Amino acid sequence: SASGASVVAIDNKIEQAMDLVKNHLMYAVREEVEVLKEQIKELLEKNSQLERENSLLKTLASPEQLEKFQSQLPTEVLCPEEQSPGVAAPAQHSGGSAV
């Protein structure tokens, strides 16, 4: 009977320790998710700003300037879908929240 009680006590201690570890991990994961959400928000804002700048520059540039610029770009930038197999094209982001 005494050994049964000690087994129960040990099981309770193990369960408490596991709960403590679980709570700590959940807290750490929640913190990391918040950091990543903020990074995503900042990157989306930066992407939007760069897209606006790109659009403005395209409207202000002459056809000759655009042609000269495009001739200087590597072909991977101009035609990402034609990259060799095994090379992943950059992921397109729709602008919605990923989290």
42 within domain boundaries: yes
pLDDT tens per residue across all 99 residues of the chain:
667 788 899 999 999 999 999 999 999 999 999 999 999 999 999 999 999 999 999 999 998 988 888 888 887 665 655 444 444 444 444 444 444
Please list the helix, strand and coil fractions of the chain in percent, rounded to the nearest 5, in that order.
75, 0, 25
CA distance 7 to 80: 63
Q: How far is CA 57 from the centre of its chain?
A: 28
**How many other C-beta atoms are found inside a 10 Å radius of the C-beta of residue 77?**
10
Say what the pTM is: 0.56
Q: Is residue 82 part of a domain?
A: no
Q: State the total domains in the chain.
A: 1
Boundaries of domain holding 33: 2-71
Q: Is residue 99 part of a domain?
A: no
SS (H, E, C) 63-81: HHHHHHHHHHCCHHHHCHH
94 located within any domain: no
Instruction: Note whether 35 and 27 are within 8 A (CB).
Output: no
